[in-house]
């Protein structure tokens, strides 16, 4: 029925064009199904946690949360197998948002301080393991560079230097590297020329779609670039239907630090050919970790603030998460949530310091880049998930996750 209605609305020609790209359609259906599944699994987990709180099995239920998180991340990642540059934002702002939101909810309703401590310790342990893995990968790259280099190690500069040197870039393994982005950016003329020159090399990972980047030519030479709100995208080597995504100007300022080509000739050719790919892997992992830490420190603060405001409203009695909360005890209930937010913020700061010291990466720039270039997608997810999770707890909406259905 839905297929017939959809065909009638969009027209037969558009419907046939969509069916021509069954791979993209399948990944889209996987993504939508995963989003729907996530909006059911996490409320069901909350019901299980509340039931376990009365029986003393809270810790066993807490152990399920990392498993649910990992499962949902892998399911959503399946729909972005050929769009890796969109994967961190899409996965983190979906799964990690729900995870952080329901961790805060669990802390509010936890019956013992032990449960709160275990939740905090588990999350901090996961962050420590991720940082340790990143440190080992960074050390592997540093060991391939000469020990007599004059400049501090800068991972992004290493990757950029390899791309700027055609001879060195040609020797790199490119089988798992995607050159063109799935999102259109406005870049400088030198950046456009560099991408065009690199596209002449063979051996890149095939991907669903890519965009030819629009060239910015400022009329005033003293003015570099400004943001634009124009909605336009151009397809490259693809005739598939693409969503319109707002373009953003990308400003990348590098320091005067430079790495000579000779720095890359010391290791063996096999190790050298994997240097660019390994650098990109670390940058990809770092982006995921930065976004995750950011959400885990922001979401608990927003939720605790929401609880403290909602308790003063007359409609609070219709919200299931406000059960048992009064103006007198609300501070004690949200104290653990604020403590968790502070620990996550400290974890974010420590991560930023370690990454800047070990690989020269500026975490705030990396975070700002994602939030600016993916702003429509980020805002859409945050607004949708916030309204969905909070509105589903209103009694007169008829949502009963206890499955008692007392009004029937």
| Contact of 219 with 243, CB cutoff 8 Å | no
| Contact of 186 with 251, CB cutoff 8 Å | no
| Contact of 295 with 92, CB cutoff 8 Å | yes
Work out the pLDDT band at 24, boundaries 50, 70, 90: confident
Average pLDDT along the chain: 74
* 304 compared with 251, residue with greater pLDDT: 304
> Which 3-state string (H, E, C) describes the chain?
CHHHHHHHHHCHHHHHHHHCCHHHHHHHHHHHHHHHHHHHHHHHHHHHHHHHHHHCCHHHHHCHHHHHHHHHHHHHHHHHCCCHHHHHHHHHHHHHHHHHHHHHHHHHHCCCHHHHHHHHHHHHHHHHHHHHHHHHHHHHHHCCCCCCCCCCCCHHHHHHHHHHCHHHHHCCCCCCCCCCCCCCEEECHHHHHHHHHHCCCCCCCCCCCCECCEECCCCCCCCCCCCCCCCCCCECCCCCCCCCCCCEECCCCCCCCCCCHHHHCCCCHHHHHCHHHHHHHHHHHHHHHHHHHHHHHHHHHHHHHHHHHHCCCHHHHHEHHHCCCCCCCHHHHHHHHHHHHHHHHHHHHHHHHHHHHHHCCCHHHHHHHHHHHCHHHHHHHHHHHHHHHHHCCEHHHCCCCCCCCCCC
Q: What is the pLDDT of residue 298?
A: 92
Question: Would you tell me how many other CB atoms lie within 10 Å of the CB of residue 311?
Answer: 19
The rounded percent of the chain whose pLDDT value lies above 70 is 73
Cα–Cα–Cα angle for 200, 204, 207, rounded to 5 degrees = 115
Q: Which residues are 235's β-sheet partners?
A: 211
Q: At what angle do helices 363-373 and 330-359 cross, to 10 degrees?
A: 110
Q: Which residues are 394's β-sheet partners?
A: 319
Asked if pLDDT for residue 367 goes beyond 70, the answer is yes
Q: Single out the residue of 74, 295, 276 nearest to residue 166, CA to CA.
A: 276
176 Cβ contact partners less than 8 Å away, ≥ 6 residues apart: 205, 277
Q: What is the pLDDT of residue 258?
A: 44
CA-CA distance, 302 to 262, in Å (whole number)?
50
Q: Single out the residue of 311, 305, 337 nearest to residue 326, CA to CA.
A: 311
CA 164 to chain centre: 28
Using one digit for the tens of pLDDT, what is the confidence trace for 380-402?
Answer: 888 988 888 888 787 766 555 56
Mean pLDDT, range 33-48, rounded to an integer: 86
pTM above 0.75, yes or no: no
| Contact of 299 with 100, CB cutoff 8 Å | yes
Instruction: Parse the chain into domains and list their residue ranges.
Output: 2-140+290-397
Using one digit for the tens of pLDDT, what is the confidence trace for 228-275?
Answer: 333 333 333 333 333 333 333 333 344 444 444 444 444 455 555 677
Q: Single out the residue of 38, 30, 146 nearest to residue 102, CA to CA.
A: 38
Cα–Cα–Cα angle for 36, 63, 39, rounded to 5 degrees = 10
Work out the pLDDT band at 294, boundaries 50, 70, 90: very high
Q: What is the pLDDT of residue 52?
A: 83
Asked if pLDDT for residue 211 goes beyond 50, the answer is no
* Distance, first Cα to last Cα, the chain: 29
Q: Which residues are 53's β-sheet partners?
A: none
CA-CA distance, 319 to 101, in Å (whole number)?
16
What's the token pair of residue 53? 């709180």
């Amino acid at each position: 029925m839905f297929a017939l209605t959809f065909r009638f609305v969009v027209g037969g020609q558009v419907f046939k064009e969509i069916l021509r790209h069954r791979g993209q359609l399948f990944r889209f259906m996987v993504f939508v199904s995963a989003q729907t599944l996530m909006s059911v699994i996490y409320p069901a987990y909350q019901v299980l946690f509340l039931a376990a709180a009365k029986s003393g099995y809270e810790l066993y239920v807490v152990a399920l949360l990392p498993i649910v998180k990992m499962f949902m991340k892998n399911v959503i990642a399946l729909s972005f197998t050929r769009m890796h540059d969109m994967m961190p934002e899409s996965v983190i702002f979906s799964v990690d948002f729900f995870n952080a939101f329901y961790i805060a909810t669990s802390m509010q309703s936890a019956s013992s301080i032990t449960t709160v401590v275990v939740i905090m310790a588990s999350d901090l342990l996961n962050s420590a393991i991720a940082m340790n893995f990143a440190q080992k990968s960074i050390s592997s790259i540093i060991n391939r560079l000469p020990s007599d280099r004059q400049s501090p190690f800068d991972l992004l500069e290493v990757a950029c230097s390899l791309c700027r040197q055609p001879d060195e870039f040609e020797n790199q393994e490119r089988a798992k590297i995607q050159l063109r982005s799935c999102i259109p950016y406005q870049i400088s003329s030198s950046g456009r020329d560099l991408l065009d020159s690199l596209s002449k090399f063979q051996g890149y990972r095939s991907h669903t779609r890519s965009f030819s980047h629009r060239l910015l030519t400022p009329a005033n030479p003293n003015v570099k670039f400004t943001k634009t709100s124009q909605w336009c995208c151009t397809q490259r080597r693809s005739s598939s239907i693409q969503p319109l995504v707002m373009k953003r100007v990308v400003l990348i300022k590098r320091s005067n630090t430079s790495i000579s080509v000779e720095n890359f000739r010391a290791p063996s050719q096999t190790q050298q050919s994997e240097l660019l790919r390994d650098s990109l892997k670390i940058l990809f992992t770092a982006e995921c970790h930065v976004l995750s830490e950011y959400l885990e420190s922001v979401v608990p603060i927003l939720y605790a603030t929401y609880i403290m405001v909602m308790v003063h409203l007359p409609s609070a009695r219709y919200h299931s998460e406000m059960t048992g909360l009064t103006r007198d005890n609300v501070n004690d209930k949200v104290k653990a949530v604020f403590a968790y937010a502070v620990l996550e913020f400290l974890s974010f700061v420590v991560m930023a310091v370690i990454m800047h010291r070990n690989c020269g990466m500026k975490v705030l720039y990396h975070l700002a880049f994602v939030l600016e270039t993916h702003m429509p997608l980020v805002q859409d997810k945050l607004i949708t998930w916030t309204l969905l999770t909070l509105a589903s707890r209103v009694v007169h909406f008829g949502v009963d996750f206890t499955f008692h259905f007392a009004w029937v």
